[in-house]
Amino acid sequence: MNMKLSAVGFALQSAKGAAKTQPDFMGPVAGGSLVTFALEQTEDELTSAEIVGPGEFRSSAAAAADYESRAWPQSVAGLLYAALGDIDSSSGTAPAVKAVLTTALAGANNDLTFLAMAGGTAGNSITVHLDAPDEADAELSVDVASSAITVNLATGSGKAITSTASQVRAAINADAEAKALITASLAPGNSGVGVVTALVATNLAGGAAAGSGGTYSHVITPAATVPWATVFGKKDSDLKAAVDCKLDELRIEWEGNQPIKVNATWAGCDADYASADYTPGLDEALLDYFRGIHLTTATIDLDGNGYTGGTAILGGSLTIKRNLAADIYSGSMLAGDIFEAALEIDVELKVRVPDLLPVRLLLTGAVDGTAITGTVPYGELDLVFANAPDSLELAATRVAWKAGEPDADPKGGPAELTLTGRCYGSTPASVLTATVVNAHGPY
């Protein structure tokens, strides 16, 4: 028996008791027990004529599955649906793409990203002009004419520009006409403390209309219940399928530009052995998958006001836990039903930072704060992995961020922070929205 010859797959069921005979998706794994039984077998603690006890008894056998695979565009959408519970699939239409402009100004910590508010090609006509007035003591202001945004930069007594990137961002986002066209944020890796330079009127680019031709968009959000599924495991000639399963935990993680790892833990009611090899609807063994290099958009808002702390992402993870509970009924070794409990969605990001102002902000409520605040700071997160024509977006609008101090190091080196946060929200979509664009129709 060769354990290299292993694979795992799953198929979503229409209802409990409607087990599937073949997987919708199947592919290789990086590890895990695949489909197994978790046997509850304990010693019966009784007195005995011998020094050892009389024996053991079995009370339950829970069907389960756990494995590490990769973020294939089609199966990862199914897994997110299995973990969250609600999905809205388009009818073969890819979503419109928003136009964007990221500056590359001379200097440090002074670059900005301007993102069109609406998707589509219209965003490509928006221009941003950072104008340096030829006058002393000019005040920072914003003018909008049609789709042309002009930021009149502040100057000092010697006519030198004094506006920082953070100030420009705040001015644009505070102007009603400008913020109707774009949202301004600090470019990745920029703290915003640097003074900007003049920029000629420059168009946003990359905006694209909603497309068609076999590309589907799936918007996945939390629900009170999750769908039933059948999970298929193959270890060489050993073939088992766990039926009437629910996804208990889904962890999506990556480091640097390496492959995105997908760790899935399922709880099931029963498992069946098979004699013939499985025939999946889609064999993903040779298909491309998302990797860290595909991270095209990363928006980290630490305080709800757009503060990024100049963070540059090194890696991270998002974990969805359903905290399932299985009911073992008297007279049966197997689970009779599986119930969802509290939903927990946790984020962890490893980031490079130019200073420790993010820690200070999260502790005190301000980058120049001096006293610990009793108010929890809530921010946002939006990550987009794009490997055309496929994409994966994970967005949360109310994240309770925390960060610890990095250790001093005699060898020196840059500062690295680990940001952790739990996702909350008043609506399912505000807790977490996962959007997957792929070639698969409705799930």
Task: Annotate 358-410 with DSSP letters as a single string.
Answer: HHHHHHHSSTT--S--SSPPEEEEEEEEEETTEEEEEEEEEEEEEEPPPPP-T
For residue 268, give every residue at least 6 positions away whose Cβ sits within 8 Å of its Cβ, in sequence order, or none: 62, 63, 64, 65, 231, 242, 243, 244, 245, 246, 335, 338
Judge: domain 96-209, CATH 2.60.40.
yes
Polymer length of the chain = 443
Cβ proximity of 401 and 377 under 8 Å: yes
Pair type for strands 112-119 and 127-131: unpaired
Spell out the domain ranges in the chain.
6-40+62-93+215-438, 96-209
pLDDT at 95: 66
Of 200, 237, 282, the closest CA to residue 24 belongs to 282
Confidence (pLDDT) at 239: 93
Return the pLDDT at 297. 84
Strand-pair partners of 392: 385, 436
159: three-class secondary structure by DSSP: coil
Three-state DSSP state, 37:
strand
Q: What pLDDT does 413 receive?
A: 87
- CB contact at 8 A, 350 and 416: yes
Q: What pLDDT sits at residue 266?
A: 96
Rg (CA), the chain: 26
| Buried/exposed 88-104: b ≥16 CB within 10 Å, e otherwise | ebbeeebbbbbbbbebe
Cα–Cα distance, 168 to 153 (Å, whole number): 8
Contacts of 439 (CB under 8 A, 6+ apart): 73, 74, 214, 215, 216, 389, 390
Which residue type occupies 231? Answer: V
- 10-45: pLDDT as tens digits: 999 999 999 999 999 999 999 999 998 888 899 999
| pLDDT tens for the chain, residues 1 to 443 | 899 999 999 999 999 999 999 999 999 999 999 998 888 899 999 998 889 888 999 988 888 999 999 999 999 999 999 999 999 987 655 667 899 999 999 999 999 999 999 988 999 999 999 999 999 999 999 999 999 999 999 999 999 999 999 999 999 999 999 999 999 988 877 888 999 999 999 999 988 887 644 588 999 999 999 999 999 999 999 999 999 999 999 999 999 999 999 999 999 988 889 889 999 999 999 999 999 999 988 889 999 888 888 888 999 999 999 999 988 889 988 888 999 999 999 999 999 888 999 999 999 988 888 999 999 999 999 999 999 889 999 999 999 999 988 899 999 888 899 999 999 998 988 899 999 999 898 89
Give me the pLDDT at residue 92, please: 57
Classified as helix, coil or strand, 1 is coil
Q: Does the bond joining 389 to the residue before it have cis omega, within 30 degrees of 0?
A: yes
Q: Return d(Cα 72, Cα 390) in angstroms, integer.
A: 10
| DSSP 3-state of 238 | strand
**DSSP state letter for 189:** T
Cβ atoms of 271 and 230 closer than 8 Å: no
SS3 at position 411: coil
| Residue 113 CA: distances (Å) to CA of 393, 415, 436 | 18, 24, 24
